[in-house]
Amino acid sequence: MSSALKTSLQDAMKAAMKSGDKHRLGVIRLMLSALKQIEVDERIELDDTRVIDILDKMLKQRRESIGMYDKAGRVDLSDIEHAEIEVIQTFLPQALSESEIETIINDAISKTGAESIKDMGKVMGIVRPQIVGRGDVGLISGKIKDLLSA
């Protein structure tokens, strides 16, 4: 099973080469390199779900870097990370709205019958597959924690 997302990344790389967009080309090459590394290490061909997981992880890494750079007063490096996030997000599914996130969380809580923070794992088990690549898992996890703690 081949990944349509990976194919679109390769097409975007060719387009960036032709247009001379060196920044975009560099970020796309980073993404393709990360995908290739996993394919070689695990001797598999990635599907779209796994590609989205990997790109989502790349976003998370950049958000963490931005936090560290901002604390250190390195706005120049923070700006580079922001620019990379913009490129990566163009290949991920449309981000969820606040109301969509709340609906997903509330549905998961009612399906699992979750009543306390002890049920966090059950709720995240249902929520995570629906939000990967479409929202910040850490922020959504915090929202679930707040709802279950109340």
Annotate 133-148 with b (16+ C-beta within 10 A) or e (fewer): bbbbbeebbeebeebb
Determine the Cα–Cα distance for residues 54 and 58; give it in Å rounded to an integer: 6
Q: Which residue segments constitute the domains of the chain, with CATH numbers given?
A: 4-89 (1.10.1510.10), 98-149 (1.10.10.410)
Question: What percent of the chain has pLDDT above 90?
Answer: 72
CA-based angle 57:68:71, to the nearest 5?
A: 150
Q: Tell which phi-psi region holds residue 134, choosing left (phi > 0), alpha (psi between -120 and 50) or beta.
A: alpha
CB 116 within 8 A of CB 148: yes
pTM recorded for the entire structure: 0.79
Per-residue pLDDT reduced to its tens digit, 4-20: 999 999 999 999 999 99
Alpha helices in 43-136 (DSSP H): 48-71, 75-89, 98-112, 120-131
SS3 state of residue 133: coil
Instruction: Please check the confidence at residue 144 and state whether its pLDDT lies above 80.
Output: yes
pLDDT tier at 134 (50, 70, 90 boundaries)? confident
SS3 state of residue 139: helix
